[in-house]
Structure 1
Amino acid sequence: MTMQIKEIILYNKQGDIRKIPFETGKVNIITGKSKTGKSAIIEIVEYCLGRSEFLVPEGIIRKTVAMYGLKLQFNEKELFIAKSPPEGNNQSQNRVYFEIGKDIKPPELSEITPNSNDEGWIDYLGSFLGISPNLNVPKASESRNPLEANYKHSRLFLFQKQSVIADESILFHRQKEPFMPQTIKDVLPYFLGAVREDHLKLEAELRTTKRELKILKKRQIEAELLSTSGSTKAQNLLDEAKQVGLIEESFYANNQEELIQRLKKALLWKPSGILGIEVSQLEKLREKRAHHLEQLNDIIEQIRAAESYASEASGYSKQGNEQRLRLESIALFNEEPNDESCKCPLCSSILEEKIPKIENMTNSLRRLNTNLQAVVREQPKLRNYIESLENEKEAIKQLVNNYSKSIEALIHEQEVAREIEDLNRRVSRVVGRISLYLENYQEVQEDDELQGKVRATESHIEYLEGLLDQEKKEEILSSILSRISKYMTEWAKELALEHSDAPYRLDIKNLTVIADQEERPIPMNRMGSGENWLGCHLISHLALHKYFIQKNRPVPSFLILDQPTQVYFPPEKYDTMEGDIEELNDEDRKAVKMMFDLLFKVCKELYPNLQIIVLDHANLQDDEFQSALVEKPWRSGRALIPSDWL
C-alpha cells in the first residue's frame, strides 16, 4: 500500500487557506530563493505525520500559521490530518484531527477539533500501512531494551534535510540524535523484510515450548529417579504413614505391588472433623460471668453495709439500757416538791441546789424505752434481710462457677481442635507425598509416552529455532543488501561518482555507504568532495525505496530532498544567486543535470509508486524540470507564506 502527499494545507488565524499541491508518482519540485520557507516543508510534513516536537523555524511561518494540514493519498483513499502549533512557550503538542474518505475537502478552521493524538495516529497509520507486530531483541550481552518497529520509525527513510543530504558523517534523517543510530540499525532489517512478519508470534511460541520442555524433562528426571529407588521411597512413605496413624502399625507388604496398593488406599483418607468453636461464643460466656461477678460484688457490699448497721444498732441498745436503769431511779420520788429545795429520797436531807424536774426525767425515760423497743423490733427484720442477701450471694457464686467451668471446657475444646488440626496437617503432608510418588510411579510405567512427548517438543523447538535462526536472518539481510548494492552501483556510474568503477553498498552496521575498491573498502566519509557525499545519499535512499516498493514493504512511498544542488552553487553566493543553471560552470551544470535525470528516471521506473519532492534553489530551464514545478519559482514575493498574510 502506497502513501504519498497530495497537498500541504496551511491556515492563518483568520481562517484563510494556503494550499501547495503535489502530484503522486512523480517528481515534484519547489524552487526559489533562500528564506522563502522551502526547508520548513520537511518540518511541517513530519509534524503532521505524528512527531510531537514542533521544529518549524522561528519567524514569519510561526507568527502567521494557525493550523498545519496535510492531505495524503492511500491508493484510492485520501486522508486529511491537521495539527495546531503548541500553545505559549511549549515546544510540542500531540493533539490531532484526521479524517479519511474520497475527494476530501479541507474543513474550515473553525470546524477542526482534535479527535485523536499522535500515539493513536501513529498506531492507525501503522495498521493502515500493514506494519505487523515485531520485536528486535538484542543479544544477551547487550544492555539495551527490545525495540518494536512502528510507523514513526519509517519516517527515518523519508527525509533528507539540507544539513544531512551532503554530510559525509551521517546518512539518515535524525541520525545525529541520541540513541537514533542504534534504532535505525534495529528497525531497518524489519522494513527491508529480513525479519519474518510472524517473527514476534514465533518467538512467543518458542518461549512457551521451551517452558513445556523444561517441565517435561523435570518429570522425566523424577521418573528416572523413581525407577531406580522406587522401593526405598515407597517403604519410607509407608513408615511415615504409620507414624501419623494413616496406616496401621501391623501392616506388612510382601511385595512392591502390595505396597503400592496399600499406599493408593491411603489416598482415600479424609481429614478428621473439627468442631468449630466460635470466638464469639467464648466471649459471650466471659461477658456473662463478668456481669454476675459485678452482681456478686454489689451483694457483698450490701451485706457488709447491713451487718455494719446491725452492729451499730446492737451497741445503741446496750448503751440505751444502761441509761434506762439510771433513769428508773426517779421512781423514788412520789411527787414533785413545791419549794425550790428538795429532799433526798434516800436520806431525807434537804438539797440546797436545784435538781431537774422529775417530769422531764420521766419523759426522757419514756422516750428511751420507746426507742429501745423499736430497735428490738427491727433486729429480726435486719437479720432476715442479711440472710436473704447471703442466699442470693451463694446463688450468684454458683452461676459464676458454672460459667467458669463452661469457659474452661471451651478452652479445652479449642486446644483439642488445634491438636486435631495439627494431626490433619501432618497426615495431609504425608498423603501429598504419597500422591506425588504414585503419579510419578505411574509415569515410570508409561515411560514410552513421556519420552515421546519430550522428543516431539524438542523437535518442535528445533523447527522454531530454524525459522528464527539469527544466521538465517543475516543471510537474508545480506542477500537484500546485495540487491540494493546492485542498484547503488548502477546509479553511482550514472552520476559519475568517484570510485564508481567499484561496487557501492549500504553498510548497516556503520550506517554509511562504502565503495569496495580492490585495495580496500572506502567509506563515504573518506570520499572527497560534497558531490560524492550527495551522490551516496541519493543512490542509497533511492535504492532503499525501490526495494521497499518492489517488496511492498510498509514504508510511505515518498522521499523529500532539501537543497540537493547546494554542493554545486558557491556557498558564499548561495543566498543571492537566482539558482539558474547558467550560474554554474560547465562541469557543475552537467552534474546537476545528471542528478535530476536520475530522479526522473527512477520515478518513471517505479511509477506510480514513488513520489519525490525536491526543495531547491536551482531552476533548470529544460522542459522536464519545468513541468515538475509545483508552483512558479518562489521569488519576487512568492513564498510558502502568501504576502497578503503578512
Structure 2
Amino acid sequence: MKIASIHIYSHDGRRRDQPFETEGLNIITGLASTGKSSLSDIVEYCMGEADCKIAEGFIREKVSWFAVTFQFPGQQVFVAKPNPRPGRVQCSLAMLLRGAKIKTPDFEDLAHNGGDELVQQVLSSMLGIPETKTAVPERSSRVSYSVNVKHTTYYLFQKQGLVASKDLLFYRQSEEHLPQAIRDTFAVLFGISQLADMETEANRRATQRELKIATKELRSAEEAEEALDTKGVGLLAEARAVGIQFGSASASDMPESTGPASDLVASLRQVLSWRPGSTPLMANSEMAKLQARRLSLRMQRNDVQGEIAATQRYVKGASEFESEIHEQRARLESINALPRSADGAWQWPFLREEDARMDGIAQALLGELSSLSEELQSVGGARPRLDQRLATLTEKSSSLAAEIRQLEQSINAAVLIEEKAVALADANAQASRVQGRVSFYLESLKPSDAINTLKLKVQRLQAKLDELILDAGAEDDAEARMHSVLTNISSTMTSLIGEFKPFFWEFPFWVDMRDLTVVVQRPGNPVPMKRTGGGANWLAYHMSALLAMHHYASKNGVPIPRFLMLDQPTQVYFPTQIAYEAAAGDIQRVQQTKDADLVAARRLFEILLNYTKKVVPGFQIIVTEHANFADEWFQDALVEEPWMSPPALVPHDWPSWQQ
C-alpha cells in the first residue's frame, strides 16, 4: 500500500490533485505555511481516522473534501472524507472506491457510501492484516482488540518535532495508553503473536480457568464433608442457644453420625422447619389512651389540690379575723361599766352631769359593738361549711391519686410486656440468622457421588491442560520470535546508523520495544536514546530505526504500508529556525549558507534515495522540506516546483465555507 495521489476539493466544485511517484523518493520543498505539513494529516484522516488533525485556518476554511488514492499491487483504492463542519474536529463518513485504475471523481460525484469502519476493513484486508486480536495477559485490566490499518500509522509518519525527538520514537507514542497499543499491535503485525499460538493460548487459559473452578468446588465439597461433625453440631448448639426447639432435649443427646443422611442432618432440617411463636404487642393507640387518661387525672388532681389550698388559706384568714373581732368586742363591752344618769343616759365619771353626758358617743359605740357581734355570728356560721368542703376535696384528691396509681401500674405492665416482646423479637431474629446459616450449610453438602464426579472432572481438565502446555509452548516461542525479529531489525538499524555517522555509531544498536526507544549497546553501559545528545544524532536514530523496520517488513511480508512520510527532517542541521526558513525552496540560498551542516543534510537525502533504490527497491518516501539542493537527483525527486506562495496546497481563489 502506497500513496498514488492526494486530492482536495473546494466548496464550489474545483479540485486540486497532488500526484506522487509510488516508487522512490518524493520531495516537496518550499516556504513555511504553504500546507506541506498537512499532507500527512490528510493521509492519516483518509486511512479511517475519525479525528481530523489538519490545523485550523486557511485549509480547513477553503476545502470541502479530502481524498487519497492508495496504490496496491494491481489495484487502487480511493478514499474521500468530508471536511468536518466548522467547530468540529471529527467525521466518520467516507466514500470508498476500488478498481484497477480509478478515475478521480469530480466534486458532483462525491457521496459517502460508508464510514471509517469500512475504510479500515478494506485497507486492512488488502494489506493482509490477520483478523486476530491483541494478546492480553491474564488478570490484566487491558481489553483485547482487533488490529487494523490504523495501528500501522505508528511506523508511517515522522512529523515535525517527532523526527528528532530524544524521548519519543514512534508517532503518537506520547498519547495516553498508546505506548502499550504500539507494543501489542507490533507483536501481531510483525508475526510474533501468531494466530495458532493465540488460539492455543486462549484454549489454555480457558482450560486453566475451568480447572481452577473445578478444583475449588472439589476442595469445598471435601472440606464440607470432613467438617460435618464439628460444624453441624456447632450449628445445633447455636440453634438451641437461641431458643429453637428440635429433636433431642439435651446436649448429651446430640447426634454424632457423620453420613449425609445421618440424624445430625435430620436435626438440622428440623431447625429449618421450626417457627418461632409470636407475642402480641399492645396497640400504640391503647398505650396512648392510657397515657392520655393519666395526664387528665393528674391535671384534675392538681386542680383539686389547688382548691384545697385555697380553702385552707380562707379558713386560716377567717380564724385570724374572728380573733381580731373578739378582741375589739371585748374592748367595746367595757362601755357597760360606765355610770348612767337618773334617766338612764351614759355619762363620763368624775364630771358634772351637765358636762359628762355622752349620748351620741355611746350610741356609736353600741352600734359598733352590735356590728361586731353580727360579724362573729356570720363567721362562726360559715365554719361548718368550710370544714365540709375541705373534707370533700381531700376525699376527691385521694380518689384521683388512687386512680392515677392504678393507671401507672397498667402502663408499667404494658411497657414490661412490650420489652419482653422486643426481646423475643430479637431472639427470633437471631434464630432466623442461625436458620440461614444452617440452610447454607445443608446446601453446601455434596453427596459422595458428587465428590467423585468432581474428582474425575479435575483429573480430566488437568490432563487436558498438561497436553496443551506440552504441545504448544507458546510463551517461549513468542519470546524467541520477538528476539529474532528485533535482532534482525537492530542489525539493519546499526548498519544504517553507520551511514549517518552520529555519536556512538561504532557500537551496535538495539530497538527496545519495551521502552519504545533506541539503545546503544555500549559494552557494560547501554545508553538509551534520551541520554544521548544532539538533534542530528536523534534524527539518525529515528530514521535508521523506522527504515530498518520497513526493511524487515518488506523482506518478510509484514502487513504494513510500504511508505514513510517525513516532515522537515533537515531542520536539525541549521543553526536557527530563521536560517532554516530563510533557505526555504531557494537553491542559491542553500548553497550560500555557510553556517549550516549542508553536507550532513545532503547526506540524509542521499541515504533516503539509496534506501528506495538499493536497500528496499520500490519503497516510497515522501519528504516535506524547506531545504532545496541543486543536485540533479534532488531536483528529479521534487514532485512540484517549490511552494513559494503560501498556501501553495490550496489555490488562493478558492472560496471559504463562509462565502
Describe the superposition over 1:422-471 as per-residue Cα deviations: whole angstroms up to 9, x where unpaired: 43355445444543443344344521233355457767888999999644
Which one-letter code corresponds to 2:408 in the other structure? S
Look up the SS of the partner of 1:617 in the other structure. coil
**Which residue, 393, 400, 403 being the options, matches 1:389?**
393
CA contact (8 A) 1:336 1:358 kept: no
SS at match of 1:96: coil
Contact 2:489/2:552 (8 A) holds in 1: yes
* 375, 378, 382: which one aligns with 1:371: 375
Which deviates more, 181-190 or 194-203? 194-203
Tell me whether 1:316 sits opposite 2:314 in the alignment. Answer: no
In structure 2, what residue type is equivalent to 1:41? S
Query: Superposed, which structure 2 residues align to 1:173-188 within 5 Å?
Result: 173=171, 184-185=182-183, 188=186
Indicate the residue corresponding to 1:415 in structure 2.
419
Of residues 297, 304, 313, the one that matches 2:302 is: 297
Secondary structure (helix, strand or coil) at the match of 1:404 reads: helix
Q: Equivalent residue for 1:249? A: 249
Tell me the residue number matched to 1:539: 547
2:108 counterpart of 1:98:
no
Going from structure 1 to structure 2, the CA distance change for 1:21 and 1:559 (only over 3 Å counts) comes to farther
Deviations 1:571-596 (A, max 9, x none): 9997547459x979999989857734
Equivalent residue for 2:404, pick from 397, 400, 404? 400
- Alignment map for 1:418-437 (pairs within 5 Å): 418-428=422-432, 430-437=434-441
Matched residue type, 1:224: E
SS at match of 1:249: coil
Q: 1:219 to 1:184 in 2, by over 3 A?
A: closer
1:260 lines up with 2:265 in the alignment:
yes
Aligned to 2:100: none
Cα 1:224–1:594, aligned 2, differ >3 Å: closer, same or farther? closer
Pick aligned residue for 1:595 from 608, 631, 639: 608
Residue pair 2:280, 2:421 contacting (<8 A) in 1 also:
yes
| Alpha-carbon distance in structure 2 between the residues aligned to 1:328 and 1:200 | 139
User: Alpha-carbon deviations, 1:113-137, whole Å to 9, x = none?
Assistant: xxxxxxxx99999999999986866
User: Residue 305 of structure 2 aligns to which amino acid in structure 1?
Assistant: I
| CA shift for structure 1 position 635 | 3.2
- Structure 1 residues 542-561: aligned runs within 5 Å: 542-543=550-551, 551=559, 559-561=564-566
Q: Deviations over 1:285-318 (max 9, x none)?
A: 5565445434433432221121111222233234
Distance 1:497 1:416 in 2: 96
Aligned-pair CA distance for 1:617: 3.4
Partner of 1:633: 642
Q: Deviations over 1:230-254 (max 9, x none)?
A: 4455455555555545234165659
Aligned positions of 1:351-500 closer than 5 A: 352=356, 357-428=361-432, 430-444=434-448, 446-452=450-456, 454=458, 470-471=475-476, 473-475=478-480, 477=482
* Residues 51, 89 of structure 2: 8 Å contact kept: no
Contact 2:52-2:91 at 8 Å conserved across structures: no
1:617 maps to which of 610, 618, 627: 627
For 1:124 and 1:365, how far apart are their aligned partners in 2?
134
Q: Is the 8 A contact 2:329 2:372 kept in 1?
A: yes
Q: CA RMSD in A?
A: 6.8
CA 1:450 to 1:510, structure 2 compared with 1: closer, same or farther past 3 Å?
Answer: closer
Segments of structure 2 that go 5 or more residues without pairing to the other structure are 70-76, 96-104, 109-114, 125-130, 503-507, 592-596, 655-659
Between the aligned partners of 2:139 and 2:180, the Cα distance in structure 1 is 13
Distance 1:128 1:355 in 2: 151
Name the SS for the 1:560 alignment partner: strand
The share of aligned pairs that are identical, in percent, is: 24
Displacement of 1:633 after TM fit? 1.6
Structure 2: distance between partners of 1:428 and 1:188: 60
Pairwise CA distance, 1:268: 0.8
Which residue identity is paired with 1:161? K
Q: 1:157 to 1:221 in 2, by over 3 A?
A: same
Instruction: Give me the TM-score of the superposition, normalised by structure 1.
Output: 0.63
Q: Residues of 1 paired with 2:19 and 2:458: CA distance?
A: 61
The 2-side partners of 1:511 and 1:404 are apart by 87
The answer on whether the counterparts of 2:35 and 2:646 sit within 8 Å (CA) in structure 1 is: no
Mapped to 1, the partners of 2:350 and 2:205 lie a distance apart of 135
Paired residue total: 591
Q: Could you say which residue in structure 2 is the equivalent of 1:31? A: 28
Q: Which whole-Å CA distance do the structure 2 matches of 1:230 and 1:201 have between them? A: 44
> What is the letter of the counterpart of residue 96 of structure 1?
V
User: Alignment partner of 1:267: what SS?
Assistant: helix
Q: Distance in 1 between matches of 2:457 and 2:171?
A: 51
Contact 1:164/1:171 (CA < 8 Å) preserved in 2? yes
Q: Deviations over 1:225-276 (max 9, x none)?
A: 4444544554555555555452341656595523332332222112332545
Structure 2 counterpart of 1:221 = 219
Unaligned runs of 5+ in 1: 85-93, 107-120
Query: C-alpha separation between the residues in 1 aligned to 2:459 and 2:446?
Result: 19
Matched residues in 2 for 1:318 and 1:549: separation? Answer: 138
CA distance in 2, matches of 1:336, 1:184: 152
Q: Give the whole-Å Cα distance in 1 for the aligned partners of 2:460 and 2:329.
A: 124
Measure, in 2, the Cα distance between the counterparts of 1:369 and 1:208. 124
Whole-angstrom CA distance in 2 between matches of 1:424 and 1:230: 25
The equivalent residue for 1:78 is 80
| Separation in structure 1 between the aligned mates of residue 122 and residue 465 of structure 2, nearest angstrom | 33
Aligned to 1:115: none
* CA 376–529 in structure 1, closer or farther in 2 if over 3 Å, else same: closer
Aligned equivalents of 2:343 and 2:616: distance in 1?
Answer: 166
1:440 & 1:563 partners in 2: Cα distance? 71
Q: Is the 8 A contact 1:327 1:361 kept in 2?
A: yes
Q: Match of 2:111? A: none
1:73-132 alpha-carbon deviations (Å, 9 max, x no partner):
596653234598xxxxxxxxx9525362547979xxxxxxxxxxxxxx999999999999
* TM-score, with length taken from structure 2: 0.62
